[in-house]
Structure 1
């Protein structure tokens, strides 16, 4: 899940929670489904931002081994 997925879930949840009349569909309460989708969207957005920040703090080190002519390199 990325930032776009989180924003999409928030938007769809807001439409269901605030834009649809409560008695539109008698099988399930669309307002509650909207709130659940908004919560999942916020969670996805926060998780993607945390994971993205964690990736930027990693560092890569290059290790170079040098061998002079007196000692042979180790056998592989």
Structure 2
């Protein structure tokens, strides 16, 4: 679950808990809202934890890699250039 999805769950749960005045037989909308808010909070904490672990695992780079160490110039290739010449005998109008 992403951080944005967790925030959406928290907002949806808050709306169901405090803004909706609807009754269903055998279902309490307020409890559903609280459950959604708690699920969103758990997802938000897990998403933040996952981001911090990922950033910490990368670590600093010890030595920079220079391009000339890796890349070698290819050998010169022969290329053929085609040139088109047109001669117009008629004068422009």
Q: Structure 1 length as normaliser, TM-score?
A: 0.72
Q: CA deviation at 1:10?
A: 0.2
Deviations 1:6-28 (A, max 9, x none): 0010000001100112x522231
Hey, what does 2:81 align to over in structure 1? none
* Inter-partner Cα distance in structure 1 for 2:48 and 2:11: 18
Q: Structure 2 length as normaliser, TM-score?
A: 0.60
Larger radius of gyration: 2
- Equivalent pairs, count: 61
Hey, what does 2:53 align to over in structure 1? 54
Name segments (4+ residues, structure 1) moved above 3 Å: none
Higher relative contact order (CA 8 A, sep 6+): 1
Name structure 1 gaps, 5 residues minimum: 63-76
* Inter-partner Cα distance in structure 2 for 1:11 and 1:26: 24
CA-based RMSD: 1.8
